[in-house]
Chains A and B, each alone.
Chain A
Amino acid sequence: MTNISMYIPGNSFFHKCDSRVKMLLLVIVSIMAFLFHSPYVCGFLFLTGVIFNYMALGSRMFRHMLTKMVIIMMFFLIILHGFVNPRGETPALFFGKVISLPFFGAYTLEGFYIGLVFWLRLSSIILMAELFVSTTSPSDLINGLHKLGVPYNFCFMVSMSLQLIPISVREATIINSAQRARGLPEKSIIDRFRGLLPMFVPLVVSSLERMEKTSMALECRGFGNTNNPTNMSDIVIRKRDIALVAVSVLLLVASIVLRIRYGSLNVTDYLNSWSDCFRLGIR
């Protein structure tokens, strides 16, 4: 059974935190990541993300889809930006030599710097998102949304969508097998493209039929009778939640103050060597 919404059950500090607090943490980290253009700040957030995830998941974090995404992106972003970024001026020296690609030009310091920061920013956010989804059960996620004031119907839609994704994936696999068994050619890319219609129609038909059945079943269970069904969940704010909120908000405030005082720490315009990339950049 595929893992719905990437949740990994466990007993860590983060697992026990309220889902709304984790959502707040994610928002705060996202803001902080974009407040500064420094590998130090973004690196700190990145490291925090890695440590928190390891605390919550242990070595399972390395098998998580989002971790893998972060690792792949590192190679992709840093190398790409190095060659392609329009702000690139200063060629980077690798043991005295410049690396240059036809049509793209040389690998630049500015490109490297921007690519690095971009990757660190994005990864910090992704890692925090990973922490959130892997330590929050789908039930708690939905209840958290509802408690924040999101209308019941919308929450229900979100939870049904979470169910439907693995179901649709499973059905798509079966339909694919069924059509291959009818000789659907699978050699060239054109074949595979043509093969989308025989996949698409049964999937849509099957989804529509399922929706019809589910809506009947929901009616039989009184769905739609009220916008305020009895709340069955126990969401309680505990000390650890307050602590996490306090620390995050404090850091956010500190970041804003520092940003106003010292600027975004962006040194793109001052790069002449590798070591310049790691200057503090305080105004």
Chain B
Amino acid sequence: MSEYVLELKDVNFKYDNAPSIEEPALKNISLNVRKGEFVGIIGSNNSGKSTICALCNGLIPKSIDGEFSGTVKVNGHDIKDYSTARMSQEVGLVLPDPEAQLSQLTVYDELTFGPSNLELPREEIEARAERIMKLIRLENFRDRSPFSLSGGEQQRVAIASVLTMNPEILVLDEPTSNLDPLSTEEIFEIICRLNREMNMTVILVEHEIELMAKYVDRFVVMDNGRIVLDGTPREVFSHKDVFEQIRMFIPTVTSLAGVIDEEYRKWGRHEYPITLEDMYEIIDSGKE
């Protein structure tokens, strides 16, 4: 029994029909994720982040055409051996556009849609839907058309609708890029709760590095199809030079500390802050 819930080994992938991407999307990627980890994947556009997401539940290589090599294992078994329907019971995938993920006539139908495709018994499906509605606080939207909801509400419904398949791993590909800041915080809060309270393994691809620094256990930094950094937030942000090279920014608080340390030599601690809260603590207690 593998200790990892997700294992990518020597994965290469090149899209067949992508006019704006000429190179392979993934070059020799290897990545292992443990149960209950909260992994944040960051990187420039076209660095391969979305491609990794589609790998996790088998959309690549089953539904998306391209040249694929390497192995992807979920809970110890190779995704190639299982249908997407089967995989969706282990890995839930949430995509960037909230509205495009919805297809049913009511929110309740949206939640029961996935399990009904699995031909589960009706009572089981109803129980799951009730549970998830409570968890994601969607009870008031039960009979509403998903298309009458705001972007943030729609994304919550999208998340809920993959959760009813009972996956243990949740992969989210830029779930908040089309949302306003308030909805973004809401979504992050839900994801964090799922990770902390339900021990779900979460893989989150996002641009909101400062917000992610608060929640993730581990950052995987990608550039041009490769993983360039992989470690805890502190470890990863200490490589400012790498970030500069790939044209990304580390959180402001970390930069600040860096400048104070290097330019003014006034940073008394070993570690740099990675969140605002860290910084406040340091300031309030005096740096020296």
Instruction: State in angstroms the CA–CA spacing of A27 and B103 once bound together.
Output: 29
> Are A225 and B117 closer than 8 Å at their CB atoms?
yes
Closest to B146 in A: A163
Q: In the complex, are the beta carbons of B121 and A225 less than 8 A apart?
A: no
Give the residues in chain A near B92, CB-CB below 8 Å: 220
Q: B228 at the A/B interface (Cβ < 8 Å)?
A: no
Is A243 among interface residues, defined by CB-CB distance under 8 A? no
User: Could you tell me if B105 and A219 are in contact, using CB atoms closer than 8 angstroms?
Assistant: no
Question: Of the candidates B83, B88, B119, which one forms a contact with A229 in the assembled complex, judged by CB atoms under 8 Å apart?
Answer: B119
Give the B interface residue count (CB, 8 A): 41
Q: Does A220 contact B88, Cβ atoms closer than 8 Å?
A: yes
A149 at the interface (CB under 8 A from B): no
Is B59 located at the chain interface by the 8 A CB criterion? yes
Q: Whole-angstrom distance between the alpha carbons of A159 and B145 in the complex?
A: 12
Q: Say yes or no for A228: interface residue by CB 8 A criterion.
A: yes
A124 to chain B, nearest CB (A): 29
A interface size (C-beta, 8 A): 31
B165 near A222 with CB under 8 A, answer yes
Point out the residues of chain B lying under 8 angstroms from A225, CB to CB. 83, 85, 117-119
- Residues of B close to A230: CB separation below 8 A: 115-116, 118-122, 125
B125:A232 contact, CB within 8 angstroms: yes
The majority secondary structure among interface residues of chain A is helix
Q: A221-B88, A222-B85, A222-B165 are in contact. Are A229 and B101 (CB under 8 A)?
A: no
Please give the distance in Å from B94's CB to the nearest CB on chain A. 8
| Contact call A163/B85, Cβ cutoff below 8 A | no
A224 within 8 A of B: yes
Interface string of B236-255 (1 = CB under 8 A from A): 00000000000000000000
Q: For residues 101 through 139 of chain B, which have their beta carbon under 8 Å from a beta carbon of chain A?
A: 101-106, 109, 112-122, 125-126
- Please, how many angstroms separate the alpha-carbon atoms of A267 and B112 in the complex? 58
* Interface residues in A125-155 (C-beta closer than 8 Å to B): 137-139, 142
Question: Is B158 in the interface zone, CB < 8 Å from A?
Answer: yes
Q: Does residue A213 face the partner (Cβ distance < 8 Å to B)?
A: yes
Query: How far, in angstroms, from A221 to B104 measured CA to CA in the complex?
Result: 12
In whole angstroms, what is the CA distance A167 to B120 when docked? 32
| CB-based nearest B residue for A170 | B147
Least Cβ distance of A191 to chain B in Å? 32
Collect the chain B residues with CB atoms within 8 Å of residue A228's CB. Answer: 119
The reply to whether B112 and A216 form a contact with Cβ atoms under 8 Å apart is: no
In residues 266-283 of chain A, which contact B (Cβ within 8 Å)? none
Set of chain B residues within 8 Å of A59, measured between Cβ atoms: none
Q: Which 7 A-B pairs have the closest CB atoms?
A: A222-B117, A225-B85, A213-B100, A217-B101, A221-B114, A222-B85, A229-B116
Please report A residues at the B interface, Cβ cutoff 8 Å.
Answer: 1, 4, 137-139, 142, 159-160, 162-163, 166-167, 210, 213-214, 216-226, 228-232
A-B contact pairs, 25 of them (CB 8 A): A1-B145, A4-B147, A137-B105, A138-B105, A139-B106, A159-B105, A163-B103, A213-B95, A213-B97, A214-B100, A214-B103, A216-B54, A218-B103, A219-B84, A220-B84, A220-B88, A221-B88, A222-B84, A222-B85, A222-B114, A225-B85, A225-B118, A229-B119, A231-B122, A232-B112
Known pairs A160-B103, A225-B118, A230-B122 / 11 extra A-B pairs, C-beta < 8 Å = A139-B105, A159-B103, A159-B105, A163-B147, A167-B147, A213-B95, A217-B95, A220-B92, A222-B88, A226-B119, A232-B116
